[in-house]
Structure 1
């Protein structure tokens, strides 16, 4: 009977981080109540992967016991639960195969299960007796899983599609066509860590907020998630970057492999892989700590990226510069890649983020698309006085970009383009899209989703108006969750079918 759970145990072990611990809890969990939740949340804090062994319903059990599958679905909806296994073959067989490092039981079981305790101790595990009475009831509810009932918080603007002669069917065709596109992304690898905390209160010694860390989630961020979005949406993707020789770089390479992204990852022992840690409580980010190196990459690394790009240039449809201004994209590299792209008619898009760094979006010349925030555009032009449309036009003239988005946060997006109606005397055209998500959870990554979706649409032959619309939907999907999670085509198609408008 020892092999009854072997395949599930092997799968769980494969997904466990290096030196990670499996925590195990078992029970009927017929009707989930606060006591169950507290113990489950407590258990999740004791290791890296929480597995729940669900006692199968015996045939002669009272009809009031819910079916196994109903109880399993309820447990899976708890964000900190990683795996639920229905124990058809008993608890001992599962413990033998899984060998969890920590087994959590309620204090009422102390001394009543000596055989199970000896079994756990026999392979080096440890039994912890706790009800989790002090654990909060919702340590990570903002990152919970889907309940299964779809409710969109995304409202689309009335009149925009008609104004630009855009059809939903055409938008869906672009999404289906992403699989035929070959995209390059060049930029910074960032590891985003979200430390979810319980707000304890204010220190009596000094005016400091006191929190208790509960769980950390790690995500591939920066230019890495730009590549991740593109691959998940269907495109073939190559991601060129420079990292340190450290644990965050190992995490990044593993993430790229799982996403099936062709990574050109150059390791530099004198750099740190950028790591951003956000501390969150009550659905808000209280503090962000950045660990990074801010210096231009070596000439040798630049030459490696250029050589790889030039070798494949004939088959590349678009390249995105995703610049977080930590030195991965020095001007010489940008100019060389841009010249090669022009020779091969490769679409070039760029974003240069300066929320906490010093950058200049105007150094990206002759692109198809630039996507600065209003502040980034004004800083590049040293212009704090003119209206936003004049700022957009000045940036277009300075950079010779075909299209510019000025992203305005909660106010949405200004589209500024050389795509003018036939017969018009104007040299440029404008329109605006509102921020579509009515209940955003996390603004991080909104611009990345906008950038990659718009680039893919343009590379697939779409207009800037179509690109902006799908880009805005992608951005709205991204801000509706916490952390960088690659977008899926079905998410976007589902929102296109949803007909609520504003």
Structure 2
């Protein structure tokens, strides 16, 4: 893939409209410095210097699409309290469509990370994992079903916080079979049975091991796991993210499976938070913008390498991607 080819693909991002369905999370960051240990317990005392909120979970996937130049709409559940308002304000500020958001009596999921220097000290979560039920679920699914034709792709961002269900995936897959919709899923352990017949799943090593029921410990077991996932889920592509070792793409070609290994392009790794969100947003936008899946995965690999070099939940831009492609072997 040449840099000029990548540039043509990236330019098409602005014309693409993506619906992100899943668990909306608010990421709170508390930054500070540590100079002593508490006399009360053997723990560091963090002197707080800054606090900030960022979009997480499905909201960060949508945020990545916006950063890449695409159009993003989000569908999920937020609470009616203060944190729900913070999420809504952040979404509006980023230009993410709110037409498909539901407010509920449940708490908005909040992940709070305490960071001193470049090191995360602790994380604590506030969440409600109850599944969406009753009239709320019925209305949610009805809204999704009626809106799918308005989008170039759908991304399911599953954190097992209650939004993603068997009924939801059934609706998405039926529409895919009928109209060829591109359905991408960032999976979660325990939900792999739901993802049959989607277009692509993007598990990390741990998720792929669980989903394929193969312990990935070397290239041989990696290939076995990728093949197992393609066979079990009957999807078109499996993209396994492998951290510092890059990514591996598995794709069906007739009765055969082609495997493409992509080494990481990250120069430094400060924080892997949200890297999976960047991968699925980028690979989806690239594919529906005309890239073949290998090229789409290469662009997503570059984007992931960019965000892990930043602190906190981050995004990559087309300009940053093209800068990397000036000198990377992909070019």
Q: TM-score range by the shorter chain?
A: over 0.9
1:377 equivalent among 184, 189, 208 = 208
- The alignment covers a number of residue pairs equal to 327
1:343 equivalent among 168, 178, 186 = 178
Higher relative contact order (CA 8 A, sep 6+): 2
Corresponding residue for residue 250 of structure 1: 85
Q: CA RMSD in A?
A: 2.0
Corresponding residue for residue 274 of structure 2: 445
Distance apart, 1:167 and its partner CA: 2.1
1:195 equivalent among 30, 35, 39 = 30
Do the aligned partners of 1:412 and 1:435 also contact (CA within 8 Å) in 2?
Answer: yes
Q: How does 1:421-432 map to 2 (within 5 A)?
A: 427-432=256-261
Deviations 1:153-186 (A, max 9, x none): xxxxxxxxxxxxx222111111101122121110
Match status 1:363 vs 2:171 = no
Cα separation, partners in 2 of 1:204 and 1:316, compared to 1, 3 Å: closer
Do the aligned partners of 2:282 and 2:296 also contact (CA within 8 Å) in 1?
Answer: yes
Do the aligned partners of 1:403 and 1:417 also contact (CA within 8 Å) in 2?
Answer: yes
Distance apart, 1:353 and its partner CA: 3.8
Corresponding residue for residue 316 of structure 2: 487
Structure 1 spans left out of the alignment, 5+ residues = 1-165, 421-425
Cα separation, partners in 2 of 1:388 and 1:265, compared to 1, 3 Å: same
Do the aligned partners of 2:283 and 2:299 also contact (CA within 8 Å) in 1?
Answer: yes
1:466 equivalent among 295, 301, 319 = 295
Distance apart, 1:362 and its partner CA: 4.2
Distance apart, 1:312 and its partner CA: 3.1
- Distance, in Å, in 1 between the alignment partners of 2:168 and 2:191 is 15
- Distance, in Å, in 2 between the alignment partners of 1:435 and 1:498 is 14
Q: How does 1:246-395 map to 2 (within 5 A)?
A: 246-263=81-98, 264-269=100-105, 271-354=106-189, 359-384=190-215, 387-395=221-229
- Distance, in Å, in 2 between the alignment partners of 1:195 and 1:311 is 40
Do the aligned partners of 2:3 and 2:322 also contact (CA within 8 Å) in 1?
Answer: no
Cα separation, partners in 2 of 1:188 and 1:389, compared to 1, 3 Å: same
Distance apart, 1:387 and its partner CA: 0.7
Corresponding residue for residue 402 of structure 1: 236
Do the aligned partners of 1:187 and 1:240 also contact (CA within 8 Å) in 2?
Answer: yes
TM-score with structure 2 setting the length: 0.92
Distance apart, 1:349 and its partner CA: 0.5
**SS of corresponding position for 1:442:** coil
- Distance, in Å, in 1 between the alignment partners of 2:148 and 2:194 is 22
290-299 vs 491-500, greater mean Cα deviation: 491-500
Q: How does 1:36-75 map to 2 (within 5 A)?
A: none
Distance apart, 1:500 and its partner CA: 7.5
Do the aligned partners of 2:274 and 2:314 also contact (CA within 8 Å) in 1?
Answer: no
Corresponding residue for residue 251 of structure 2: 417
**When you count strand as a share of all residues, which structure comes out higher?**
2
Do the aligned partners of 1:321 and 1:350 also contact (CA within 8 Å) in 2?
Answer: yes
- Give the greater-gyration-radius structure (CA): 1
Q: How does 1:72-151 map to 2 (within 5 A)?
A: none
**SS of corresponding position for 1:417:** strand
Corresponding residue for residue 66 of structure 2: 231
Structure 2 spans left out of the alignment, 5+ residues = none
